[in-house]
């Protein structure tokens, strides 16, 4: 189990927990000057029980230790990766993260079917309750590209959010969210880069206005950084975040370092 704890009072502390099968490690997170954010320490230890006891008011961050996830993150980081390969790598990473995030989360229906040999008891994902996928434009489109191939039933709602280059504040320029989501809806919010946290917080605020609970939402990202995770943890306890990797630095322009650059520009060659 890995635990990330904010060390800089008086900022509220938080704990992020996700499974890990490796030995003990300690890493220290910091941010580049001149923007200052709380530093984080990571303590990694082997889990001693199958399912750790998790507080209901704690945000959880999952970094699945899968070699394919590490591979596609590495492809995305490489500045020599061509646009078409970059976009494909983003889609493959999103597919794997959604697979991990949907574990023990999708509604199912049980029944019987006739195989070529006999009657078999079966379980299907319930198509009557589609998972809502919300890519934050435009880079979110690439990360969510293969959602329909991993999830049997999905509904996609586009959300466009731009960030002011000077203030780093988000502005919504396209909102295709429904006025109300069904009770108990399951929602993936897909944003490749969780840097300063302004964009993802704005997106989840819009969902909260539509009656969606924190535990109904799972955030999918390629790379996350401590400032965004701090904001999410403070505002949305119980939220789950799935990311390919956590980087320690956000620079003065709001970019994650080492990160992978501008995910939208690199996905669409602009």
List the pLDDT tens digit at each of the 270 positions of the chain.
334 433 333 333 444 444 444 333 344 433 333 333 333 433 333 333 344 444 567 899 999 999 999 999 999 999 999 999 999 999 999 999 999 999 888 888 999 999 999 999 999 988 888 899 999 998 899 999 999 888 888 899 999 988 777 777 888 899 999 999 988 899 999 999 999 999 999 999 999 999 999 999 999 999 999 999 999 999 999 999 999 999 999 998 889 999 999 898 899 988
Q: How many CB atoms lie within 10 A of CB 51?
A: 7
Per-residue confidence (pLDDT) for residue 42, from 0 to 100:
37
- The pair of structure tokens assigned to 79 is 């500045």
8 Å CB contact between 229 and 201: no
| 108 Cβ contact partners less than 8 Å away, ≥ 6 residues apart | 123, 124, 125, 126
In total, the chain counts a number of residues equal to 270
pTM, 2 dp: 0.79
8 Å CB contact between 229 and 239: no
Q: Where are the beta strands (DSSP E) in 68-158?
A: 108-114, 119-125, 131-137, 154-156
Closest residue by Cα to residue 104 from 46, 54, 67, 48: 54
Per-residue confidence (pLDDT) for residue 56, from 0 to 100:
63
Closest residue by Cα to residue 133 from 115, 118, 152, 120: 152
| DSSP single-letter state for residue 214 | G
């Amino acid at each position: 189990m890995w635990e990330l704890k904010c060390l800089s009072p008086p900022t509220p502390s938080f704990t992020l927990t996700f499974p890990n099968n490796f030995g003990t490690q300690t890493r220290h997170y910091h941010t580049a000057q001149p923007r200052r954010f709380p530093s984080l320490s990571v303590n990694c230890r082997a889990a001693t029980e199958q399912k750790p006891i998790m507080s209901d008011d704690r945000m959880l961050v999952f970094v699945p230790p899968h070699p394919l996830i590490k591979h596609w993150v590495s492809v995305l980081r490489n500045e020599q990766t061509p646009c078409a390969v970059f976009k494909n790598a983003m889609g493959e990473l999103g597919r794997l993260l959604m697979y991990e995030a949907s574990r023990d989360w999708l509604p199912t229906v049980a029944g019987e079917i006739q195989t070529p040999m006999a009657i078999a008891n079966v379980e299907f994902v319930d198509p009557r309750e589609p998972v809502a996928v919300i890519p934050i434009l435009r880079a979110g489109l690439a990360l969510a590209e293969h959602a329909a191939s991993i999830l049997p039933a999905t509904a996609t709602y586009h959300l466009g959010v731009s960030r002011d280059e000077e203030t780093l504040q988000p502005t919504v320029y396209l909102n295709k969210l429904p006025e109300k989501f069904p009770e108990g809806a399951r929602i993936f919010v897909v944003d490749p880069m969780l840097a300063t946290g302004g964009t993802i917080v704005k997106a989840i605020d819009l969902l909260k206005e539509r009656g969606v609970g924190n535990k109904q939402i799972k955030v999918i990202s390629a790379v996350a950084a401590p400032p965004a995770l701090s904001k999410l943890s403070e505002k949305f306890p119980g939220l789950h975040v799935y990311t390919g990797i956590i980087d320690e630095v956000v620079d003065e322009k709001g970019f994650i370092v080492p990160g992978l650059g501008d995910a939208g520009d690199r996905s669409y060659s602009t």
